[in-house]
Amino acid sequence: MDHCNGKPGYLRNVLVRLCLFCVVIVGIRFAYVVTLKGETCDLGDFCFFSLPENLNVFSGAGQLPESVSAIMTSEEAGKSAPAKPKNSKIPDLWADKDFQKSAQFYSSVFQDLIAEGFVGPNSKALCIDTPMGADVFALREIGVEDSIGTYKKGSKPLVITGKAVKQPFEDDTFDFVFSGGGMIDKSGKPGDFASEICRTLKPEGFLVVHTGSKDTYSLNSFLHLFNCCTLIKTRDIDGSSTIREIVMKKVVGDIYRVEETNKCNVPDYKMKLIKKAEPLIKEEPKKPWITLKKNAQSIKYLPSMADISFKQRYVYVDVGSRSYGSSIVSWFKKQYPKQNKTFEIYAVEADKTFHGQYKEKKGVTLLPYAAWVRNETLSFEINQDPGHKDVLKGRGMGRIQPVESSGEAASEVDVIQGFDFAEWLKSAVSEKDYVVMKMDVEGTEFDLIPRLIETGAICLIDEVFLECHYNRWQKCCPGERSSKYQNTYGQCLDLFTSLRDSGVLVHQWW
């Protein structure tokens, strides 16, 4: 036997075994990368291979639904994913991890909506106020190719320039409209925001909004903004912060139109808020000027109990405002919890002495008349405190009544114009507005409040601060009651109680 041929055979076997060993190592590595990591190798990985350059890998936190391919060829990606922007100043969003995470979140949301039939491949979709367009990207990825977003600064091809309150589209354009990121919560004009959606959404089309607001008061305010839509469903989406998803469908006609009626239909959620308010002072205070001011510290304001977002306008009406600094500045502007909302202010003051203070006040409209139950000319009596050196501070509150001046203090009489306050209120505000009213009218509240109830105007007021005038104990003269007013404290308490029982959040004022 020739032993010279044995050595090459032995080396061949060693080489074959070594090659097989390397193949096994590569196979194990491939299985690890693909099955455990779910993606290709990172730069720091030990790789025997690299992906071809024509593969587009979509990666990020979590996995996209199975219907969305995680790996697409460049030809497939070109059909559903946007091309890279030519402008180098625009960031490469689809390579950004935050963008990818947002896109995957929206993809999950839209998959649920597709399953329920609210959006589909043939839908024409709009995403409102989307700075990055991650929601538009997600829609296109799952097959809703006719999708576009708008923002004040566009970023084509995902997002075009367009304000939420003024969309660059024709009426009845879209089958599906989406507003994410709580953008409507941040809008300074939620009423206009809603109107534009109603205009551009097709009849039978669906609207989906994500909002951070959770309480029932704000939900109902939201629904009343969209008078073109009916509520389909709501659900909570848990994430880094809890999001409420609201799904609505556009219908023909104003479903929240208020019928002409003088009766208030007070929903249960408003009655529950009233029950949370501070208790009324049942017994007449011996020193009302102290008791009522202490009571102001315990007042539970409506904005401290509920989210007042999603109102069309915010209005404060000061009936018997006197000077500009009296209650508008000293109380409403400084103390009322406005939740960063800008309020329109109406000052109702008949005393012409104070009118000059309002001429150059921005955001304040003066109504230089007396709030009354009808339109007519009235006699307006002003009581003066002769011991007061400051004329304005010594000028007593005016009141509408037959002039019967007492000998205790000097008085003057003006002929003024009274107006039907209830009818004015009905023409000035709507049920979509958030309205706060303070009333200090020197006894006329016993005429005005019944008139507001009778006409249904009281339904338009969300919160009332009422000073009720009665023959209370005098500060100057212990044991003596004021002869200025005929009503008793019991009658005032009945007035407050009846208002709360009727569904009006009213507070005792001083």
Which residues on neighbouring strands pair with residue 73, listed in sequence order?
55
pLDDT at residue 490 greater than cutoff 90:
yes
Global pTM reads 0.75
The band of 197, judged by pLDDT with boundaries at 50, 70 and 90, is very high
Alpha helices, H only, 401-488 = 421-428, 445-455
Q: How confident is the model at residue 398 (pLDDT cuts 50, 70, 90)?
A: low
Whether residue 404 is predicted with pLDDT greater than 50 in this model: the reply is no
State pLDDT tens for residues 19-31: 777 777 766 665 5
In this prediction, residue 366 has a pLDDT band, given cuts at 50, 70 and 90, of: very high
Task: Tell me how far apart the alpha carbons of residues 263 and 492 are, in angstroms, rounded to a whole number.
Answer: 22
pLDDT for position 257: 55
Query: pLDDT at position 332, please?
Result: 96
- Residue 80 · residue 103 · CB < 8 Å: no
Residue whose token pair is 């909002």: 211
Q: Which of these ranges, 87-101, 158-172, 315-329, 358-372, has the smallest mean pLDDT?
A: 87-101
- Residue 372 pLDDT more than 50? yes
What is the SS3 assignment for 106? helix
User: CA torsion sign, 17 to 22 to 26 to 31?
Assistant: positive
Instruction: Name the CA radius of gyration of the chain, rounded.
Output: 35
Q: What whole-number distance in Å separates Cα of residue 324 and Cα of residue 358?
A: 7
**Which residue from 196, 202, 252 is spatially nearest to 228, judged by alpha carbons?**
252
The rounded percent of the chain whose pLDDT value lies above 70 is 75
In a 3-state reduction of DSSP, which class is residue 6? helix
Q: In the numeric block, which tokens belong to residue 250?
A: 């556009």
- Return the pLDDT at 63: 32
**pLDDT at residue number 483:** 78
Q: What is the mean pLDDT of residues 222-243?
A: 86
Q: Which pLDDT score, from 0 to 100, does residue 86 have?
A: 39
Average model confidence (pLDDT) for the chain?
Answer: 80
- Reading the block at residue 375, the tokens are 């339109």
Classify residue 112 as left (phi > 0), alpha (psi -120 to 50) or beta.
alpha
Provide the pLDDT confidence category of residue 52 given band limits of 50, 70 and 90. Answer: very low
pLDDT grade, residue 475 (50/70/90)?
confident
Q: 471: pLDDT confidence band, cut at 50, 70 and 90?
A: confident
Strands 434-439 and 411-420: unpaired
d(C-alpha 316, C-alpha 346), whole Å: 6
The predicted structure's pLDDT at residue 70: 31
Candidate from 249-263, 301-315, 351-365, 372-386 with smallest mean pLDDT = 249-263
Could you list the beta-strand ranges (E) of 212-283.
229-237, 243-250
Residues 467, 442: Cα–Cα separation, whole Å: 8
| pLDDT of res. 403 | 40
Quick one: which H or E segment has residue 176? strand 174-179
Alpha-carbon distance 239 to 109, whole Å?
12
Residues in the chain: 510
Find out whether 396 and 384 touch, Cβ atoms under 8 Å.
yes
CA distance 234 to 246: 5
The pLDDT tens digits for 198-223 are 999 999 999 999 998 888 999 999 99
DSSP letter assigned to residue 240: S
Which of the pair, 496 or 265, is modelled with greater confidence?
A: 496
Query: What single DSSP character describes residue 82?
Result: P
pLDDT in tens, 237-283: 876 567 899 999 999 866 555 555 567 788 899 999 999 999 999 99
Residue 386 · residue 410 · CB < 8 Å: yes
112, 105 in Cβ contact below 8 A? no
Mean local confidence (pLDDT), 218-236: 92
DSSP label at 457?
G
The Cα–Cα gap between 177 and 202 comes to: 10
**Which pLDDT value is given to residue 460?**
94
Q: Dig out the tokens for 103 from the structure.
A: 């896109």
Q: Supply the pLDDT for residue 62.
A: 31
What CA–CA distance (Å, rounded) separates 322 from 349?
6
Whether the per-residue pLDDT at 363 is higher than 80: the answer is yes
Q: pLDDT at position 292, please?
A: 74
Q: Phi first, then psi: give them for residue 449, nearest 5 degrees.
A: -60, -50
CA 268 distance to own-chain centroid = 20
Q: Which one, of 150, 169, 171, 431, lies nearest residue 310 by Cα? A: 431
Under 8 Å between Cβ of 375 and 420 = yes
> Any idea which of 41-55, 308-322, 401-415, 428-442 has the lowest mean pLDDT?
41-55
Of the pLDDT bands very low, low, confident and very high (cuts 50, 70, 90), residue 76 is very low
Residue among 94, 85, 98, 142 nearest 118 (CA): 142
Cβ within 8 Å of residue 479, ≥6 positions away: 473
**More confident of the two residues 482 and 44:** 482
Could you tell me which residue, 443 or 412, shows the higher pLDDT? 443
- Percent of the chain at pLDDT > 90 equals 52
Residues contacting residue 255 through CB under 8 Å, at least 6 positions apart = 227, 228, 229, 230
**CA geometry: angle at 338 spanning 334 and 340, to 5°?**
105
Higher-confidence position of 235 and 318: 318
Q: Which of 16-30, 37-51, 268-282, 413-427 has the lowest mean pLDDT?
A: 37-51
* Residue at token pair 């507005």: 433
438-450 pLDDT per residue, tens:
999 989 999 999 9
Higher pLDDT, 82 or 334: 334
pLDDT, tens only, 80-124:
344 443 334 345 666 778 888 899 999 999 999 999 999 999 999
> If residue 79 lies in a helix (H) or strand (E), which one and from where to where?
helix 74-80
